[in-house]
Amino acid sequence: MYVPQQIVNPVMFDAYGYYALPLTEFKFETTLIGVEIYSLKPIAATLWIYIDTYDTCGETISCLKWISESGSSYTYSSRVNVQNFITSFGYNRHILSTERKVNKGQMVVIWVDFPIAIDTTNDYLNSDYLVSSQAIKINNKYNWRFYINALIKNYYYVNYFYFNQSFEPKNSDNVNTYDVAATFIDSNITVTKSINVTNVKKINFDCPNSNRTSKNTLNCVGEILTTDLSTNILVDYGDCNSGSLSFDAEFSDGFGVRLPEMIDPIVPLTSISTEFILPNTEFKFDTILAGFEYYVSAIGPFTVLLNRITECGNGKLNESCGNYFQKTTSFSAKVIEKTFSLNPQNLGLNFFWMKEYLTVPQGWIVTIRFDSIGRVGLQTLNESYFEDYYISFGNIIKIDSNRQLNLLFKALTAHDFYYSKENLFNKTYSFEGLYNIAIFNTTKSFYVTSSKSMEVMCELIEGYTLDCNLYLYSQTQTNSILIDYGDCHIPDLLNTTGNLYFEHFGPAIPRSSTKAAIYSTTSHFLIINNEFKFTANLLGFELFANQNGTFQLSFVKLSNCGDTITCSSYFISNNRANLSFIFNHSLSVNEGYNHILLQTPIQIPKGAILFLGHLENEILGLESNGENEFGDLIYNTNGTISYLDTTGIKYRFLINSLIDTGYFYDQIKISKKYPISAQYNFSVKLSNSSIFYTSVAKIQKENSSIKDFSFVEKKNFDIKYEYENETCVTNFTSSLMDDLSPICYLSVDCSLLVEIPNEFTNFSHPTQIFRNESFSIPGTVTPQCLEAYSLTYKWTVLQLDSNGNETEIIIMDNPSLNSLFLAILHDTLFYGIHKIKLEANLTVDTGYIKNINNVFFNSTEAYVRIIPTGIEIFTLENNLDYMKVGFNQSFEVEPARFSYDYDQIAKFDELSYEFFCFIKNRSENFTSLNLKNFTLSHNLFDFSKNLTLLPECFTDPAGFEIDSKQTTLRILPGGLIYRSKRFYLFLTVLKYHDFKFYQFIKIDVVPAPRAPRLRLECKFPDLCIRSVRSTRIFAENQLSIKSECFDGCQESIDILYTFDVQVSESGSLNSWKNIDGADKDNFLFGLNEKEMVISQDLFTKYSELYYWKVECMIQALYDIEGDYIDVNSTMHLSLIKPPYNGSCVIEPDSGFALMTDFMIDCIDWIDSGGDVTEYLYFEL
């Protein structure tokens, strides 16, 4: 060690004892010739020089390295006293009287008892050590060396190399060891040294709002101590999320206050024989005490003590002595662990260095006792420090009641570090629960509370609508509310946003005056709006007073409510309360707005309600609020409650309770319109909570009601943070949807009766309807249903065969099939029995509810038999039923040619007919012939096939013939003989669909070989329309009728024609009348001609008459000496006229194409040929 000859302001070390000087270790064998030393003792002093030899170092391991790494142990194999010298103040150079050989690895050791100058300028060079059985650095904190040097004969070169190297910690230990090797270039000499790199990372943290969080947020503070400012502080929040902390750390070399570089005037400390406790000196971790740094304001001795306090200093942040002393005024026990007597000789900054290793455990704290005049300076420092106190018999007393003061004192430690005490983080969690937060190797558990309360109020209005208000108090800003309306529909999930945030229970208090309502000053009041929705610390009150004064208040718990259902909800339908008092207090107030804080917060449990005693002179303000759902209540002496106002106005007192944890508030209005009358299981659940309300809403047209809500406490979520394959996994289970009815039991109670007239319901005797007749079946439906509904109808027509099998008949373009009144047009159904089924569906309008039975069905059946309208059997031309023939004249009976089917579907040429013949007396009346009066045992076809049988009319079976299809009967010449008193009656019978149709014709055989046969027809066929029994003609045209003798006139020598016209109103047998003679002359032409014309003017004159008949008689003369043979033929006419008498109505009378449904109803129209059976509608 180089020793300068002159040192300005040398640093003095008051040495006493043996000191090893590692820098004097001999690097090779040489000769010691002397020493250099810089003494600071003003007078002469003795320096003893020794040489120590070691067995554990010197050859391969440097003894300098050995002594610096050996810890505190020191052993040597031999110690040789070389020589002693008398030194003087300042630089000294002493030469040995006898040079001494020294070996490699030996070291100079001195013994001194006087002050020596020391080198404090280079902390990289090794320290000198006080040695006995231990080797103790002369300064436990720094590498200090004496200015002493060993002189040798040899010269050598020495270089000091300085380098910096940052190391990444190999593990989480506080100390990591690294081997550093140095090698000469181009040499095999390598020096390796193990380096201990400290990596102290300590944290002491706490989340003071654990168990009473607001907004689901933990607010955490802590102390961080690290030897590396660049340390990345990772935090595991315990919810599978992590982060890193940023902090502003202050460099520190000990525990206590940092002494300012510029000291303000020192505050004198006048107390005598007083002990002071210094909370800032509490040791944050186990370390080596290096000494003390302090500022002396008065020279003199004092005592420093290291202590343990029983109630604090256990390493927990919230239980540090600094925190503890802020909350108390005393402690019970102080244990003195170590005492130091200090006697500084200079004012200002002073140091005291330890001459031994002293490991101080975490939690020890410094106290200073001033027993004499010595004093440590005081000063007001920044508020990041705890203030110091003086103590007296276990009591903690502020040094100055008006300001914070600190003694300028610090306990120096062997290790420097960075220290931070600050708010570490604010962490918002998604769920309530216990979270294990880990920082460094420290893990602590904190509970995140998410207090929630919810109230549900419902009332019913008309129209099946349920109106409800939900009031949500939650320390979580966002929530979900599941509402199951019990309507078999997916429940609604409402999301809240926490629009309002409060830190009080009760109304907001106005700052200006408010009008007070009148109330009885002798009453007691339940301030229902100040109900605590969750457990919280009461800090004080806000209120508005009408005047100065004092009143009493309490908090009460009710046995009926509070823990489950809120009391504000309970009192909606209940009027009795059982109270128990839990807190009483007296408030002195000033007129106007008051903000009053309690001296000590009081914990108020969930459900507690503010209770006010007698309010003299109406001291407390009131307000009414139409939107306020809860009014404060009067508590009567009999335990019942009543409202402040009986007129329905809800009043509340202007007072609220201030709490230490806030909450978010949401008021949600819901309106539910139910579609049908039913009992609905109504329930409301709040997510991530245990809140579950149920009720039953009875919805009906009148007097709907809802029961009081029942509260079911059941947690609806579970959250676990678990490690799977070293990966944190969040396992969240929600049971929010549980407990909802999995099966919908809603039903609609409706029915309907379907009826038709009894005449249609007889299956054994169906109603018979002619095919060409339109018919209708009116249906009636009688519904029994209180709900809104719609009805639909459907008629199905089924044809039954002889075995009862059904075949559906598809009828197109008939809208009545979907109405109550079925109308079947003529000619729609074929012959046979039909089952006509009316089905009615009643569909209840269930709105959005789709999964319940809302369709009700009923049906009834009608039975009709469609029968042929009728077939007119005509066998002779012009529909004649009488004819004269000669005895040698043939003629045909041709029903297939001349018959008429009213239904116009019969194919006459494919049908078979039966022909019969009877001989009748001319005297018999044949005006009305009935089939059942004749015996029809054998027809002519039977006779033709069986020659043993002879028909009544024929003497010879060869007198007639019938074709194979039995459609035509031909009477052959000579087949019929002349009978003077009798005539022939031919009967033609057709069996058609279980009905018999027939015609009788009278054949008169004249006593001549032949007789004329006459045919009448329209000369212009286009002007005539053949109908069943008549030919229809247009009255607007004249009519020409021509006659033709188509048989029997060939051999006549003269033919006479005579026409006649008759008219009738009904066409019945005896209703015919002749045309007036003048009219015949004016309007009938060719009455004795072969052709006759009727003028249209005659039709006009007789327009009221519908039926007309034209008769023509022809007389034929075959022998000039004989008589004329006359025959008659008749042609029936009917006039064609437009329909009349009816009306048509259309509703509405205006609308839009393809959008408006029009109803057209036409009734009572009469056609000249009969009733109107079909209406055709045309789009214009």
Per-residue pLDDT band at 521 (split at 50, 70, 90)? low
Beta bridge partners of 1171: 1166
Q: Which tens digits make up the pLDDT trace of 943-1000?
A: 877 766 778 888 787 889 999 899 999 999 999 999 989 999 999 999 998 899 999 9
Does residue 65 sit in helix, strand or coil? helix
Percentages helix, strand, coil for the chain (3-state, rounded to 5) are 5, 50, 45
Q: Looking at residue 1136, what is its pLDDT?
A: 83
Instruction: Categorize the per-residue pLDDT at 316 as very low, low, confident or very high, splitting at 50, 70 and 90.
Output: low
**In the predicted model, what is the mean pLDDT of residues 624-648?**
77
Given a cut of 50, whether residue 1180 has pLDDT beyond it is: no
Identify the residue whose tokens are 């989340």: 207
| Residue of 53, 49, 119 whose CA lies nearest to 86 | 49
Model confidence at 123: pLDDT above 70 = yes
pLDDT class of 40 with cuts at 50, 70, 90: very high
Cβ-contact 622, 644 below 8 angstroms:
yes
What global pTM score does this model have? 0.59
Residue 566: which pLDDT band, with cuts at 50, 70 and 90? confident
Residue 953 DSSP SS3: coil
Pairwise CA distance, residues 160 & 1117, whole Å: 178
| Predicted local distance difference test score (pLDDT) of residue 310 | 85
pLDDT in tens, 812-862: 989 999 999 999 998 899 999 999 999 999 998 887 777 778 899 999 999
643-697 per-position pLDDT tens digit:
877 667 788 899 999 998 889 999 999 988 888 888 888 889 998 888 888 888 8
Bridge partners of residue 1025, in order along the sequence:
1032
Are the C-beta atoms of 953 and 978 separated by less than 8 Å?
Answer: no
* pLDDT tens-digit readout, 169-196: 666 666 778 888 888 887 887 877 777 7
CB count in 10 Å sphere of residue 615: 22
**What pairs with residue 659 in β-bridges?**
538
Sheet-wide strand order for 579-589: 579-589, 549-558, 609-612, 524-527, 633-635, 641-643
DSSP assignments along 639-678, one per residue: SBEEES-TTS--EEESEEEEEEEEEEEEEEEEEEE-SS-E
What residues are paired with 710 via a beta bridge?
694
In whole angstroms, what is the distance from residue 500 CA to residue 508 CA? 12
The pairing of strands 175-183 and 45-53 is unpaired
Is the distance from CB of 661 to CB of 476 less than 8 angstroms?
no
Query: β-pairing, 465-474 with 452-461?
Result: antiparallel
| C-alpha 205: how far from chain center | 41
Position 1171 confidence tier, pLDDT thresholds 50, 70, 90: very low
Q: Is 765 helix (H, G, I), strand (E, B) or coil?
A: coil
Structural element, H or E, at residue 1130: strand 1124-1136
Helix (H, G, I), strand (E, B) or coil at 1172: coil
Residue with the larger pLDDT of the pair 564 and 345:
345
The highest-confidence range among 31-40, 217-226, 246-255, by mean pLDDT, is 31-40
Instruction: Give the pairing type, strands 775-778 and 806-809.
Output: unpaired
Name every residue whose Cβ is closer than 8 Å to that of residue 1076 and which is 6 or more positions away in sequence.
none
In 3D, which of 259, 205, 266 has the Cα closest to residue 426? 205
Which residue matches tokens 């008769």?
1111
Residue type, 1018: C
Pairing of strands 1031-1034, 1124-1136: parallel
Confidence class of residue 539 from pLDDT cuts 50, 70 and 90? very high
Position 634 pLDDT exceeds 60 = yes
**Which pLDDT value is given to residue 520?**
67
Q: Which amino acid is at 921?
A: N
Q: Categorize the per-residue pLDDT at 307 as very low, low, confident or very high, splitting at 50, 70 and 90.
A: very high
More confident residue, 1004 or 743: 1004
Q: Is the pLDDT at 514 greater than 70, yes or no?
A: no
Mean pLDDT of the chain: 87
Distance CA 810, CA 911 (A): 28
Q: List pLDDT tens digits, range 1097-1117.
A: 999 999 888 899 999 999 999
Inter-CA distances, 530 with 541, 542, 554, 610, 1096, Å? 10, 11, 11, 6, 108
Beta bridge partners of 444: 437
Q: What is the pLDDT of residue 1061?
A: 94
Do the beta carbons of residue 807 and residue 799 sit within 8 Å? yes
Per-residue confidence band for 77, with pLDDT thresholds at 50, 70 and 90: very high
The answer to whether residues 483 and 670 touch, using CB atoms and an 8 Å cutoff, is yes
Q: Contact 289/455 with Cβ under 8 angstroms?
A: no
Q: How far is the C-alpha of 488 from the C-alpha of 1044, rounded, in Å?
A: 88
Query: Which among 664, 652, 597, 659 has a CA at the least distance from the CA of 627?
Result: 652
- Count of all residues that appear for the chain in the document: 1180
Residue 48: pLDDT band with limits 50, 70, 90: very high
Joined together, the tokens standing for residue 404 give: 């914070």
Q: How far apart are CA 526 and CA 523, in angstroms?
A: 10
Task: Tell me: pLDDT of 719 over 90.
Answer: no
Average pLDDT over residues 1142-1150: 87
Neighbours of 643 (CB within 10 A): 16
> Measured between alpha carbons, how far is residue 486 from residues 478, 671, 691, 701, 1034 in Å?
25, 14, 18, 18, 75
pLDDT at 646: 65
At 420, the amino acid letter reads: S
Judge contact between 296 and 348, C-beta under 8 A: yes
Please provide residue 68's backbone torsions phi and psi, each rounded to the nearest 5 degrees. -80, -20
Distances (CA, A) of 943 to 916, 937, 948, 967: 10, 11, 8, 16
pLDDT, average across residues 577-585: 90
Which tens digits make up the pLDDT trace of 753-809? 999 999 999 999 999 999 988 999 999 999 998 888 899 999 999 999 989 899 999
- Per-position DSSP letters for 932-949, written without gaps between them: GGS--S--HHHHHH-TT-
User: Tens digits of per-residue pLDDT, 893-928?
Assistant: 999 999 888 888 889 898 999 999 999 998 888 777
Short-list 1096, 1112, 1108, CA closest to 1060: 1112
- The answer on pLDDT for 88 being more than 80 is yes
Q: Give buried/exposed letters for 281-301 (b at 16+ CB in 10 A, else e).
A: bbbbbebebbbbbbbbbbeee
Whether residue 1175 has pLDDT greater than 70: no
Compute how many other C-beta atoms are within 10 angstroms of the C-beta atom of residue 965. 12
* pLDDT > 60? residue 1177: no
Percent above pLDDT 70 for the chain? 94
For the ranges 62-71, 341-350, 719-728, the one whose mean pLDDT is highest: 341-350
pLDDT at position 718 is 82
